[in-house]
């Protein structure tokens, strides 16, 4: 990721943060719509899960400029996800739901440059997480 892409991700996430609860609902609704089989991996009450998602996104987004500081937490998260039944092929589906959610949440602020920056950020992080969890890197968005 370039420094400009890091800045675009951080600036656009700052616009989504005020509607984080709503964004998390939209994300999970989209994820379960496009990949209904993953619904079983989540609790029936998604309140805490939605909070965890947005908190983790905030940590990652704020740490993009110093990615090495975020990678240990991302590694641990990836390994926990294996225990929940996550597979490498789930990462592109999650990425697609995330980008779709951001596009909906940002409206006119979702530009081609912002989309490219988020795609790069997700690709970098998900590739790392897949490698950590499964021992092999794979393209994930």
Domain with 52 in it: what CATH number? 1.10.490.10
The pair of three-digit structure tokens given for residue 109, joined into one six-digit string = 């602020």
Q: Give the chain's mean pLDDT.
A: 92
**Using one digit for the tens of pLDDT, what is the confidence trace for 51-85?**
999 999 999 999 999 988 889 989 999 999 998 88
- 139 assigned to some structural domain: no
- 141 assigned to some structural domain: no
Separation of alpha carbons 13 and 62, rounded Å: 9
Number of domains the chain is built from: 1
The pair of three-digit structure tokens given for residue 96, joined into one six-digit string = 């697609």
- 140 assigned to some structural domain: no
From the CA atom positions of the chain, what is the Rg in Å?
A: 14
Q: Which of 108, 11, 25 is nearest to 65 (CA)?
A: 11
pLDDT band with cut points at 50, 70 and 90 for residue 141: very low
The answer, as to whether pTM is greater than 0.85, is: yes
Task: Specify the pLDDT at position 140.
Answer: 46
Task: Specify the pLDDT at position 138.
Answer: 52
- Domain housing 52: 3-134
Task: Specify the pLDDT at position 31.
Answer: 96
The torsion angle over the Cα atoms of residues 6, 8, 12 and 13, rounded to 10 degrees, is 0
Taking 70 as the threshold, does the pLDDT of residue 106 lie above it? yes
- 15 assigned to some structural domain: yes
Cα–Cα distances in angstroms (integers) from residue 16 to residues 35, 56, 66, 106, in the given order: 24, 14, 21, 7
As a whole number, mean pLDDT of residues 17-43 equals 94
């Amino acid at each position: 990721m370039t420094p400009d892409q890091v800045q675009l991700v951080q600036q656009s996430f700052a616009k989504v943060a005020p509607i984080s609860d709503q964004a998390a609902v939209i994300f999970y609704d989209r994820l379960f719509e496009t990949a209904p089989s993953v619904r079983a991996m989540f609790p029936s009450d998604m309140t805490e899960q939605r909070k965890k998602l947005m908190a983790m996104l905030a940590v990652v987004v704020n740490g993009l400029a110093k990615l090495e500081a975020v990678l240990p937490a991302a590694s641990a998260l990836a390994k926990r996800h294996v225990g929940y039944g996550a597979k490498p092929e789930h990462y592109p589906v999650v990425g697609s739901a995330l980008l779709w959610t951001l596009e909906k949440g940002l409206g006119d602020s979702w530009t081609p440059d912002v989309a490219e920056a988020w795609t790069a950020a997700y690709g970098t992080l998900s590739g790392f997480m897949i490698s950590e969890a499964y021992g092999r890197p794979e393209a994930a968005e």
